């Protein structure tokens, strides 16, 4: 066990002190601006008063999307394979162009959540509420996996069991999210973005140094070992699937998923939102490449040195940090991992609270607001905790996290997209949405589980089924 030094603990303490101070300061300002109506309070709590700048939005999007699946999972992916996962991010970049040009004009400054906008456009409250419930379930499952992955280094560093580590990270995130709302979430996300990126650069310096080498020699070795190749072991078909999967998957997550959409909806202008989603796509590729290179360097290192017995690839970077990195830097890396984990968790909690209050409850008495908020945020946090405990028994955390979102992401995009663009031609109700999800999940199970189709196609299957169902069976009759 490696519990770190006093310097490591001091670095972690400073990190936590800063984010709690940010939350307290933000929360205090929010109380002054709360106003008298629930709508004003919800805009301040869930959209940061619609006063977020484009660069704050960019860094917050990246901090939320990469999470610890990037910090630990992506190095593990490259250690086992190569840079081929980047095709997914290239496809995602193209998807963000579609979000900026076509989707944002439909949702920006209409309502607090995307699903409220869908409900008003489609005229179906029942469909709106069903979509909201499915979003919540999917978000809890996907972010629960990320919570587990972010607790791995905490486990290694403090010598705790994985369940205690998960609980510790969750409790800390709950504290500042509860105090400060989305404004605190975004402000801490900006700080956390720079922390974990700097942590990646530190790793690229220290890993070759411990191998008695330097960056250029390790880079050339990784190149010779085919670790920097963009061509997957499964051939060209995997490239196509990666590009296709990333394209539609990203539109469904960053355009329709409230977790990411709230960053766009909270910006001052639509132009700022369009700028932030486009730039974030470039940063996403760069950050992913940074941590893929960390995995490649780890692979080069263990070609010469003995691989630690019993350590899975998902745990390898965490193991290396706790056993090799110097005092102070080790504490910084632990803070970086906690930063990536909490930036995903805090965002998801805020997103779920926004849809609970704006889509499920819709009209609430301002007197009951705080009591309901406290109860719901506790229940939501507890749900994340349970899923993280279950996820701790799984392997390949990067792919697991992406697969979970792929099962429902395409259906969410299709139903909401149809409601936003074709509400004048199609009918929406509980029945149409329920059938869309049920059949989509059934076909995804058939193709992916029974026929072993690539998981990247799940989002396309889920996307096509609701379109066919609504255009064939739920067209509005001509008058």
Q: What is the CATH number of the domain that holds 352?
A: 1.20.1730.10
Segment 124-144 mean pLDDT: 87
58-62, 125-129, 230-234: which has the highest mean pLDDT?
125-129
Mean pLDDT, all residues of the chain:
82
Q: φ and ψ at 7, to 5 degrees? A: -65, -40
Q: Is 13 helix (H, G, I), strand (E, B) or coil?
A: helix
Contacts (Cβ under 8 Å, ≥6 apart) of 208: 214, 215, 217, 218, 297, 300, 301
Q: φ and ψ at 23, to 5 degrees? A: -65, -45
Does residue 39 sit within a domain? yes
Length of the chain: 479
Q: CA 99, 100, 104, 105 torsion: positive or negative?
A: negative
Does residue 333 sit within a domain? yes
Percent pLDDT > 70 in the chain is: 83
Structure confidence at residue 438 as a pLDDT band (50, 70, 90): very high
Does residue 238 sit within a domain? yes
Q: Is 192 helix (H, G, I), strand (E, B) or coil?
A: helix
Q: Are 246 and 95 in contact (CB under 8 A)?
A: yes
Domain range for 109: 6-395
State residue 32's pLDDT score: 44
Task: State the total domains in the chain.
Answer: 1
Judge whether residue 442 has pLDDT over 80.
Answer: yes
Does residue 301 sit within a domain? yes
Q: Are 252 and 106 in contact (CB under 8 A)?
A: no
Does residue 219 sit within a domain? yes
For the entire predicted model, the pTM comes to 0.81
Q: Which has the minimum average pLDDT: 35-44, 47-56, 177-186, 463-472?
A: 35-44
Judge whether residue 24 has pLDDT over 90.
Answer: no
Q: Are 342 and 173 in contact (CB under 8 A)?
A: yes
For residue 445, the 8-state DSSP code is: I
Does residue 108 sit within a domain? yes
State residue 217's pLDDT score: 95
Q: φ and ψ at 66, to 5 degrees? A: -75, -40
State residue 398's pLDDT score: 45
Does residue 316 sit within a domain? yes
Does residue 40 sit within a domain? yes
Judge whether residue 471 has pLDDT over 90.
Answer: yes
């Amino acid at each position: 066990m490696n519990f770190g030094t006093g310097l490591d603990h001091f670095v972690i303490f400073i990190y936590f002190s800063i984010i709690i101070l940010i939350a307290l300061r933000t929360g205090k300002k929010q109380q002054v601006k709360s106003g008298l109506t629930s709508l004003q309070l919800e805009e301040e709590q869930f959209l940061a008063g619609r006063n977020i700048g484009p660069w704050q939005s960019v860094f917050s999007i990246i901090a939320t999307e990469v999470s610890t699946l990037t910090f630990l999972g992506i190095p593990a992916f490259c250690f086992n394979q190569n840079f081929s996962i980047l095709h997914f991010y290239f496809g995602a970049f193209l998807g963000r162009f579609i979000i900026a040009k076509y989707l944002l004009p439909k949702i920006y400054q209409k309502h607090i959540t995307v699903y409220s906008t869908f409900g008003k456009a489609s005229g179906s409250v029942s469909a709106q509420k069903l979509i909201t419930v499915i979003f919540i379930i999917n978000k809890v499952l996907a972010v629960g996996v990320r919570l587990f992955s972010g607790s791995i280094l905490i486990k290694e560093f403090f010598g705790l069991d994985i369940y205690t580590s998960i609980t510790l990270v969750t409790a800390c995130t709950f504290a500042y999210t509860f105090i400060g709302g989305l404004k605190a979430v975004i402000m801490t996300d900006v700080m956390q973005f720079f922390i974990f990126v700097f942590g990646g650069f530190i790793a690229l310096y220290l890993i070759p140094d411990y191998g008695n080498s330097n960056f250029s020699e390790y880079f050339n070795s990784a190149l010779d070992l085919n670790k920097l190749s963009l061509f997957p072991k499964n051939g060209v078909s995997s490239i196509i699937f990666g590009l296709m999967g990333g394209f539609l998957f990203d539109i469904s997550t960053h355009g329709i998923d409230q977790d990411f959409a709230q960053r766009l909806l909270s910006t001052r202008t639509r132009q700022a939102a369009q700028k932030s989603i486009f730039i974030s796509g470039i940063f996403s590729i760069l950050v992913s490449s940074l941590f893929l290179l960390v995995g490649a360097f780890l692979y080069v290192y263990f070609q010469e040195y003995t691989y630690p017995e019993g350590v899975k690839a998902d745990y390898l970077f965490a193991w290396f940090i706790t056993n090799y990195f110097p005092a102070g830097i080790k504490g910084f890396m632990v803070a970086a991992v906690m930063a990536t984990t909490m930036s995903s968790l805090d965002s998801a909690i805020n997103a779920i609270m926004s849809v609970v209050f704006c889509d499920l409850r819709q009209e609430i008495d301002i007197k009951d607001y705080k009591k309901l908020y406290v109860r719901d945020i506790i229940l939501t946090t507890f749900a994340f905790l349970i899923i993280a405990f279950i996820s701790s028994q799984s392997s390949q955390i990067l792919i697991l996290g992406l697969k979970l979102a792929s099962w429902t992401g395409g259906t969410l995009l299709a139903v909401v997209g149809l409601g936003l663009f074709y509400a004048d031609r199609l009918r929406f109700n509980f029945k149409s949405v329920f059938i869309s999800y049920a059949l989509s999940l059934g076909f995804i199970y058939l193709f992916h589980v029974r026929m072993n189709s690539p998981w990247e196609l799940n989002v396309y299957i889920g996307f096509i089924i609701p379109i066919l169902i609504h255009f064939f069976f739920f067209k509005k009759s001509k008058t």
